[in-house]
Amino acid sequence: MSGHSTYEPKTGFERWLDSRLPILRFAQDTMVSFPTPKNLNYWWTFGGILAMMLGIQIVTGIILAMHYVPHVDYAFNSVERIMRDVNYGWLVRYTHANGASMFFLAVYVHMFRNLYYGSYKAPREVLWILGCIIYILMMGTAFFGYVLPWGQMSFHGAVVITNLIGAIPLVGPSITTWLWGGFAVDDPTLNRFFSLHYLLPFVIAGVVGLHIWALHVPGNNNPTGVEVKSKEDTVPFHPYYTVKDGFAISVFLILYASFVFFMPNVLGDAINYVQANPLQTPLHIVPEWYLLPFYAILRAVPNKLMGVVAMGGALITLFVLPWLDTSKVKSMRYRPTARLYFFIFILACLVLGVCGAHAPDDLVIPGFSGLQFLDANINSYVWLSRIGALYYFAYFYVITPLLGLTETPLPVPDSISTPVLSHPASAPTGAAASPEKRG
């Protein structure tokens, strides 16, 4: 896509096609000969894993839609029918349900890798923003999908999330009614959620196309954060990264399969195997694990509107990150102080996840009664999630801008090849030969 093409049509047909629809040239330039930094580590394999996950979710989802009935009277039973009667229905459904979790697991690794190596910085801001859009689309798709089995958690989760919109002053309640298509979450809601759940993955696929386009213009970032300076710094995408990605995908599939075949329900909530009952809410409403940190931020704020604003703000913040970061050094490999705050940030996200899974008034340290501070016990998950949320925002709006101005980074190498070539003993001549060539 960028730089000049190395594609040479070999047959008459390829020449004929190339002057009409240069699709083979496009494939060759983007997936075969694309110059890729030669020092990418395994954290860079998650892009390929995510592309695979999107494919798996679309294929299994289309199959499930062949057997699913989006009607409040039949939805729950049609899912049970898929599990019991449809040939391999259990396999397709467990692959799809656990696939959502695996998709989010991979996207979180992908995003944290991005934060650590500063991949969102110039010239890759648009690439990062497109990624954030994909992430939000994924959250919407996952939410709509979770409603479809019409279990207790599906129904009451949908009630809670749609009621968030009601927090908007003046127009909120009208918008909520418009979303529901009635006066509560009911059949019209289920039907439109099914429609949107089918639509959004294809929107995601479209944005993924833009994401890859935006990747191929500046090319990959790399663990040093130093831009590619010469051809010496790159290797062709195939076979080097097709094989590396392929290996990572295989390992990832082992993890995925171990969930699908040995603990398919461990990431879900047992109460969702009880059919939705609008007259009785489960004792404890929790979203799926991948949405827990945002749920914790929502509940950390004691005001309905401000809670929604905080949760939305946590997502919007990601979009402006490239302009909050003042550091000229991309990779935290050369930013020891930033690295420390980054690891605390990961911890804060995990703590928020744990907080989201517990009832707000649960005690963090059992047996320790704690003491009342303002509106809640200091030893409750409310306060822990407030600390977590505070760090989440402080990391982006205080630490990241200030650190870039005050810290002293370690010396950054001149090019990707420099750190390797400065140790002649570790780089035998011929190491960069072409093992993809025959022999």
Listed residue (66, 69, 60) closest to 96, CA to CA: 60
Q: CB 386 → other proteins: shortest distance, Å?
A: 47
| Of 213 and 240, CB closest to other proteins | 240
Helices (H), 19-85: 23-27, 46-67, 75-84
Q: CB 426 → other proteins: shortest distance, Å?
A: 12
| Of 243 and 263, CB closest to other proteins | 243
Residues 114-173 close enough to bind other proteins by CB under 8 A: none
User: Which single residue is written with the structure tokens 């963090």?
Assistant: 364
Residues 342-381 close enough to bind other proteins by CB under 8 A: none
| Of 59 and 363, CB closest to other proteins | 59
| Of 1 and 59, CB closest to other proteins | 59
Reduced to 3 states (helix: H, G, I; strand: E, B; else coil), residue 356 is: helix
Q: CB 234 → other proteins: shortest distance, Å?
A: 18
| Of 93 and 156, CB closest to other proteins | 93
Kind plus residue range of the DSSP H or E element containing 42: none
427 backbone φψ class: left, alpha, beta (φ>0; ψ -120 to 50): beta
Assess contact for 147 and 190: CB atoms under 8 A.
yes
Listed residue (188, 230, 209) closest to 72, CA to CA: 188
What's the angle, vertex CA 418, arms to CA 414 and CA 423, rounded to 5?
145
Find the binder of other proteins among 283, 371, 425, 433 (CB under 8 A). Answer: 433
Cβ neighbours of 258 (radius 10 Å):
11
| Of 231 and 438, CB closest to other proteins | 438
| Cα 295 from Cα 307, distance rounded (Å) | 9
Pick the piece of the chain touching other proteins (CB under 8 A) from 101-109, 186-194, 406-414, 429-437.
429-437
Q: What is the per-residue burial (b if ≥16 Cβ within 10 Å, else e) of 172-206?
A: beeebeebbeeeebeeebbeebbebbbebbeebee
DSSP state for residue 275 in the 8-state scheme: B
Pick the piece of the chain touching other proteins (CB under 8 A) from 279-287, 356-364, 387-395, 424-432.
424-432
Q: CB 88 → other proteins: shortest distance, Å?
A: 4
Helix and strand numbers (H, E) in the chain are 16, 4
| Of 235 and 382, CB closest to other proteins | 235
Q: Residue 36's beta-bridge partner residues?
A: 235
Q: CB 107 → other proteins: shortest distance, Å?
A: 23
| Cα 299 from Cα 308, distance rounded (Å) | 9
| Of 59 and 196, CB closest to other proteins | 59
| Of 37 and 89, CB closest to other proteins | 89
Q: Is 216 in the site for other proteins (CB under 8 A)?
A: no
| Cα 265 from Cα 407, distance rounded (Å) | 46
Q: CB 245 → other proteins: shortest distance, Å?
A: 14
Residues 62-101 close enough to bind other proteins by CB under 8 A: 63, 66-67, 81, 84-89, 91-92
Q: CB 252 → other proteins: shortest distance, Å?
A: 15
Residue 234, Cβ density class (10 Å: 0-12 exposed, 13-18 middle, ≥19 buried): buried
Pick the piece of the chain touching other proteins (CB under 8 A) from 6-14, 298-306, 391-399, 426-434.
426-434
Q: CB 187 → other proteins: shortest distance, Å?
A: 24
Q: CB 437 → other proteins: shortest distance, Å?
A: 8
Residues 27-66 close enough to bind other proteins by CB under 8 A: 59, 63, 66
Cβ neighbours of 130 (radius 10 Å):
20
Q: Residue 234's beta-bridge partner residues?
A: 37
Site string for other proteins, 235-274 (x = CB under 8 A): ----------------------------------------
Binding site for other proteins (CB under 8 A): 59, 63, 66-67, 81, 84-89, 91-92, 428-431, 433-435, 438-439
